[in-house]
Amino acid sequence: MIEYKHDGMTVASLHDERTGSFQYVVVDDTTKTAAIIDPVLDFDPRAGATATRNADLILDYVREKGLTVEWVLDTHPHADHFSAVPYLTGKTGGKTAIGNKVVEVQKLWRDIYCLPDLAVDGSQWDRLFADGERFRIGTLDAHVMLSPGHTLASITYVVGDAAFVHDTLMVPDSGTSRADFPGGDAHSLWCSIRAILDLPPETATYVGHDYGKDGRDVLGRSTVADQRRDNIHVHDGIDEAEFVATREKRDASLPLPDLMLAALQVNIRGGRLPDADKCGTAFLKVPLNRFGPGAS
């Protein structure tokens, strides 16, 4: 874990090399109360096997620091890794939450996966945050910004002088995340990014992914000022039309994430694996000919 110090707050960052994902523990230094954001459940697609290596490293940190976990938070239903929220909630007792637009994502992917019994009311989480809603992590003030574009349900958590932007922004030399998934939209992504970039310039932006572009060290953090000056897709001087054209051209060249079709059917359930079939084994679905060259 790498720790970043803020005024009255510590942000601990854990990077999962397999998926390129960052997971965060936000700690109120006064009360030792914490929130976990976007934890990863390990999944080996060759074996169809899950594991808790990442989540257990987070638990080790929580125990080492003597923390009380108040929240286990999702920024959106992830397409590139399984969520470890249920596992960590079971171990810590923290409340779960996500943005309230998750119900639209659930409806969309329920139909894609043909899951007629899936509850599409967000009841898989303890709390559904609305845009602008405020909450606390110990004594820390936090609020939610609706950040659609990458997905319909994407949100940003702003805690003090830190914004957890996940797939809305990447570090400046990597730009932004794609907007071509079902429910995604490059125009919406632009508006979400500009709202984030209107935060105070010293605000730290903690991203959800980095892959060590051109062999550099992996990065998970920059600032609003860095983003406005250096982000290759949205630095000051780039307008909406130019951004949308760049984003849509790049998205058209990208394959689906390796774990997308496996991960989303888990993550729209709040990270819960499918129930076991009559034989006692749980199975994942793959929608055939829905995506890719063979799709209409």
Residues 219-232 have pLDDT tens digits of: 999 999 999 999 99
pLDDT single digits (tens) 252-277: 999 999 999 999 999 999 999 999 99
- pLDDT value of position 296: 39
User: What integer pLDDT is reported at residue 294 of this predicted model?
Assistant: 46
CB of 231 within 8 A of CB of 225?
no
In this predicted model, what pLDDT tens digit does every residue of 15-54 receive, in sequence order?
Answer: 999 999 999 999 999 999 999 999 999 999 999 999 999 9
Helix (H, G, I), strand (E, B) or coil at 246: helix
Domain ranges of the chain: 2-258
* pLDDT tens digit sequence for 101-149: 999 999 999 999 999 999 999 999 999 999 999 999 999 999 999 999 9
CATH topology for 2-258 is: Metallo-beta-lactamase; Chain A (3.60.15)
Dihedral of alpha carbons 176, 180, 186, 188, sign: negative
Torsion of CA 186, 189, 191, 192, to 10 degrees: 180
Mean pLDDT, the chain, integer: 95
Give me the pLDDT at residue 226, please: 98
Among candidate residues 233, 253, 240, 75, the one with its CA nearest the CA of residue 180: 253
C-beta separation of 158 from 9 below 8 A: no
Residue 291: pLDDT over 90? no
pLDDT of residue 295: 46
* pLDDT over 80 (residue 293): no
Smallest CA-to-CA distance from 146 within 136, 135, 157, 134 is with: 157
Say whether pLDDT at 62 is over 90. yes
pLDDT at residue 245 tops 50:
yes
Please, how many CA atoms are within 13 Å of residue 246, restricted to the half-sphere of its CB?
17
- What residues does 221 pair with on adjacent strands? 206
Secondary structure E strands in the chain: 2-6, 9-16, 21-28, 33-37, 40-44, 49-51, 68-73, 82-83, 95-99, 127-129, 134-137, 140-146, 155-159, 162-166, 204-207, 221-223
Can you read off the two tokens belonging to residue 224? Answer: 């609003």
